[in-house]
């Protein structure tokens, strides 16, 4: 089945950019996080200190998150995409994250993303992502239980 505008493949690629964003942030993996942005990409996650533009600044965005939380797990949903032209689109989506503080207490975070996408050299990329946080809970006293780590012999 195709979408009414015939852009099913483009939509899938753009939605995957959102998944790569989450994986890059959560694993703090620059090899996943940086390639999703245009060279002039903007990431706006805070009013003052959380504003990043271009590869050098975007590289520091993962450090910005790491200063606030020792770990994060993001899920993005409700992705809506509108195409302005063959190589420009806008989108919005909702995000939920569990973020763990230095004292091993989780916070719950709800946010939305307002995005601008560009297709450059045949690849869809994020040109601008603005994050609106709807709430960040106080750290809660929930006992986190971590699964045991597997050893080389599978135990």
Q: What is the pLDDT of residue 154?
A: 61
Say whether domain 8-136 belongs to CATH 3.10.450.50.
yes
* CA dist., res. 35 & res. 12, Å (int): 17
* CA dist., res. 8 & res. 135, Å (int): 33
* CA dist., res. 126 & res. 22, Å (int): 13
| pLDDT tens per residue, range 32-75 | 999 999 999 999 997 777 899 999 999 999 999 999 899 999 99
Neighbouring residues of 145: CB distance < 8 A, sequence distance ≥ 6: none
Is residue 14 within 8 Å of 91, Cβ to Cβ?
Answer: yes
Whether 117 shows a pLDDT value over 60: the answer reads: yes
């Amino acid at each position: 089945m195709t979408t009414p505008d015939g852009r099913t493949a483009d939509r899938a690629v753009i939605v995957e950019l959102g998944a790569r964003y989450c994986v890059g942030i959560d694993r703090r993996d620059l090899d996943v996080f940086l390639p999703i942005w245009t060279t002039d990409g903007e990431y706006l996650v805070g009013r003052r200190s959380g504003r990043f533009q271009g590869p050098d600044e975007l590289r520091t965005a993962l450090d910005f998150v790491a200063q606030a939380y020792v770990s994060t797990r993001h899920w993005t949903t409700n992705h809506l995409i509108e195409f302005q032209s063959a190589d420009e689109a806008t989108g919005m989506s909702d995000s939920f994250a569990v973020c763990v503080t230095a004292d091993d207490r989780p916070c719950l975070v709800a946010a939305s993303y307002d995005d601008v996408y560009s297709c450059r050299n045949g690849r869809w990329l994020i040109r601008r992502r603005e994050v609106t946080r709807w709430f960040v809970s106080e750290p809660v006293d929930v006992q986190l239980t971590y699964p045991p780590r597997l050893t080389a012999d599978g135990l």
